[in-house]
Structure 1
């Protein structure tokens, strides 16, 4: 039985581990922190706009990790500016549910385990070096380490460490496998040419805001709180956010709040003194990042050069990329789409089978293949790509790939001969 080692326990890594295990491999998932999901611990949005199409395609292909998200949803069919039919999962319930799902599949999970180096023999990685643990050997490896969680980046390119859910100072910063083996990497840029991008939302404690706002949130999943003109800060929304699908006037004129367990504030950060000048927010307190009045985590450092099959291009031939490591793909859905393919192809590589490529006739295929191509262009790395908005969603609509017709989506997957591909044992 081949052994697949996945490094990084965010949504991409979890999806890769699930796909590799269901394909028949022995799987070890290594995460530096004490919980899985990374930024998914403070995320919560899925099925909005084109993410609905992508999720249904993936479910039809057998990526049932989306069913775990659905089971943890506390709101469905939520509308907020620029977004329709969103689901919101509880950020408090999701991590134990995903851990239980992976354990049930037989994935070996190592937390509090920071990978700090790799060992190679000729053109293959043979093991990863894990801080305070024995080395972990494998036949094929998946780099799902992401593009953030290096405190120096938050200080140099952001507003300093904002004490976010990534908790670098407690568990150590991420170490990229692609960096260690010499794969070519690129850094994302903002429109003004500066490097990186800031995470796009914050969490507020429910008990700290007006009860009437909380009631609306818990009833509808969303609430818009008008922001007086004298406390608006347009430039941070328009120039700093990783999540450009939210760079709309409504997000400047209002606080857009979503209920994901805590209150999700859809802006990178908001100075606390200014926030408390908004009616209903007089006693507001940040839950994550704790310094959300000052800044947020910085992301999009170190995309790796890889193929549309998500195999890293470089000195080793047994390394695949998942999540943001594969390119400027924003969101949990997007990470699962790449992670599932990377994990599945890791097993194909181990047994000498032809690698799978998502076909362009599927939304997930057009997305991955297009973004991988754009990452190889300097101008392409100035943008962020997501099924839920901005430039990719426009492309998705133009190519008639966006639909909420589940039967049509199922037919699409059937025509591509990919029904239950992620439930198919290869070993």
Structure 2
């Protein structure tokens, strides 16, 4: 078995590293910052709507381990909020340690503060990546999970400027795309009004700055929905990456979720307006620190690839997460990361690569989100199990299932029970 190098340790990178290691490869995971999970450190939502189906499929396929880790850090389960059912919320303060421990136990070599700056290519294969001028790393197979957000120049050109978000470009340097460095022509998403990219969909509020009665309700129920008077409604829902929340309820109300902090389901909210809302008169942001003026810009760097998640034009580069399409969410990242890591390990061993069938939601979303199909759909589309156009597709095709036995039956019928564990 050969070596696999995963660059980028968001949920997709962690899933890719874990899947490759479980298949027997020698795996190194590189992360530009000093913590794993990337936007997963300010996320926290899973199991909502069709994401429950994807989780059940992942369990049956044998790649549900990171969802078990999320469950270990869960603060709430079966939460209902506008447009979303049976959601679970993990604690963003606990999750990184649990994931890191799980990866190390699986034999993954984890390196943080390791920013790739360049690559080397021979014919149609990557041979190594460079970490500054002092170090280079070679591998047989590479997986690009560097995402599509950052650096500061994109947030300045296409957004409201740097909001000092969790991507932390000023501290650790801007994100570097391995695929782009290898000469791959990446695809940029667009917003409805014609600007590139999309803005991240939520901010964090410090609970200690909120009214104690509001906090008690939030921690009891997992969610608080606060009606907004018309003068305080400012949400630009059509510009959000998370189009599953492009619903009137998210414009007419302020929706808070308990992920350890108070997760505010708005890309940003001017602080002087926010503090006019009952219970939030002393509110302050945790992350992004400048959540009153903007948020990170995403979907600026998607790689063309096939449905096995191999990047077009390179024999030994795979991709996952936002790098693999206009995909939104942790569940989507884990699913694509698992397939990319599994196939990377298979490639290093000379084995046949796996394509998940479209009879499963996980296979269908990978095919549906393939960037090479963008001629068929506008680049404004955002794809997620939990809402918007793709969730409607799941329902129409009968793929939205919440019964574990039924899902296992479909996976068994496809001949893929525990395929990721074999």
Worse-superposed segment, 124-133 or 244-253: 124-133
Q: Distance in 1 between matches of 2:268 and 2:371?
A: 32
Alpha-carbon distance in structure 1 between the residues aligned to 2:352 and 2:217? 52
CA contact (8 A) 2:325 2:371 kept: no
1:251 and 1:156 map into 2 onto residues whose CA distance is 26
Three-state SS of the structure 1 residue aligned to 2:87 is strand
Residue 212 of structure 1 and its aligned partner are, at CA, apart by 1.0
> In the aligned structure 1, how far is the partner of 2:318 from the partner of 2:15?
13
In structure 1, C-alpha distance between the alignment counterparts of 2:93 and 2:366, rounded to whole Å: 30
Secondary structure at 1:304 match in 2: coil
Find 1:346's aligned residue among 340, 344, 347: 344
Unaligned runs of 5+ in 2: none
**Correspondences of 1:248-287 after superposition (within 5 Å):** 248-287=247-286
Deviation at 1:184, TM superposition (A): 2.4
1:379 CA displacement = 3.5
- In 1, Cα distance between the equivalents of 2:280 and 2:205? 10
Distance 1:380 1:229 in 2: 32
Given the alignment of the two structures, is residue 131 of structure 1 paired with residue 145 of structure 2, yes or no? no
Tell me the distance in 2 between the aligned counterparts of 1:359 and 1:133. Answer: 44
Deviations 1:247-304 (A, max 9, x none): 1111111110000000000010000000001111100000010000000000001100
Tell me, what secondary structure is at the counterpart of 2:309? Answer: coil
Determine which of 372, 384, 393 is the counterpart of 1:386.
Answer: 384
1:287-337 Cα distance to aligned partner (Å, 9 max, x none) = 0100000000000011000000000001x2100001100000000000011
Residues 1:225 and 2:226 aligned together = yes
Q: Which residue in the other structure is 1:322 paired with?
A: 320
How far the C-alpha of 1:132 sits from its partner, in A, is: 6.1
Q: Conserved in 1, the CA contact under 8 Å of 2:303 and 2:371?
A: no
d(CA) in 2 for partners of 1:69 and 1:415?
A: 28
Q: Secondary structure, in 3 states, of the residue corresponding to 1:125?
A: strand
- CA drift of 1:227 comes to 1.1
Higher mean C-alpha deviation, range 412-421 or range 388-397:
412-421
Count of residues paired in the alignment: 421
Contact 1:113-1:131 within 8 A present in 2 as well: no
The corresponding residue for 1:370 is 368
Most deviating of 47-56 and 113-122: 113-122
Distance 1:184 1:327 in 2: 14
SS of residue in 2 equivalent to 1:127: strand
Q: 3-state DSSP class of the match of 2:142?
A: strand
**Equivalents in 2 of 1:399, 1:203: separation in Å?**
36
How far the C-alpha of 1:375 sits from its partner, in A, is 4.4
- Aligned residue number for residue 397 of structure 2: 399
1:191 lines up with 2:192 in the alignment:
yes
Contact 1:374–1:380 (CA<8 Å) still a contact in 2? no
Question: Measured at CA, do residues 375 and 116 of structure 1 come closer, stay the same or move farther in structure 2, by a change above 3 Å?
Answer: farther
Is the 8 Å Cα contact of residues 328 and 375 (structure 1) preserved in structure 2? no
Match of 2:167 in 1: 166
Distance 1:61 1:129 in 2: 35
Q: Which residue of 2 aligns with 1:337?
A: 335
Matched residue, 1:206: 207
The match for 2:110 is: 109
TM-score normalized with structure 1 length: 0.97
Secondary structure of the 2:135 match is: coil
Q: Structure 1 residues 227, 214: CA separation in 2 closer, same or farther (over 3 Å shift)?
A: same
TM-score by length of 2: 0.98
Partners of 2:204 and 2:262 within 8 A in 1: yes
Q: Deviations 1:116-156 (Å, cap 9, x if unpaired)?
A: 11111222111110136521110000000000021100001
SS at match of 1:186: coil
SS of equivalent residue, structure 1 residue 324: helix
Q: CA RMSD in A?
A: 1.1
Q: Shift of residue 390 of structure 1?
A: 0.2
1:22-171 to 2 correspondences below 5 Å: 22-63=22-63, 64-131=65-132, 133-171=134-172
- CA distances 1:392-425 after superposition (whole Å, capped 9, x unpaired): 000000000001111101111111111111112x
- 2:413 is matched with 415
CA contact (8 A) 1:327 1:375 kept: no
